[in-house]
Amino acid sequence: MKILCAPSFAKQLESLLGDYTQEDFEDIKNFKMYLDTIILNMPTKVQKFKKSIYFDDENIKDIEHRGLIIPFYIDEETGNYLILGIVKK
């Protein structure tokens, strides 16, 4: 099992973190730490997340936090998880 990130996720995350540069560094650090924790624990909590509002596919779920939505795809054949992006709600 692997957790992979689509190129769109990396670009969108970079853009979001760029918005924070004008704000408190501690907020950025806390946000990134929480995001890393969510991503690392995703496989054990996958049942907690609901079907994505952006895709009509039961294998795509959304993680919601602080007004952000992170859709991810569960590849049942390989057991891998692909993080598709991160968008403001």
Classify the phi-psi angles of 79: left when phi > 0, otherwise alpha if psi is within -120 to 50, otherwise beta: left
Rounded distance between C-alpha atoms, residue 48 and residue 7, angstroms: 25
pLDDT tens digits, one per residue of 17-43: 777 666 677 877 888 888 889 888 888
pLDDT tens digits, one per residue of 31-80: 888 888 988 888 888 889 999 999 999 999 999 877 889 999 999 999 99
Fold (topology level) of 3-88 = YaeB-like fold (3.30.2310)
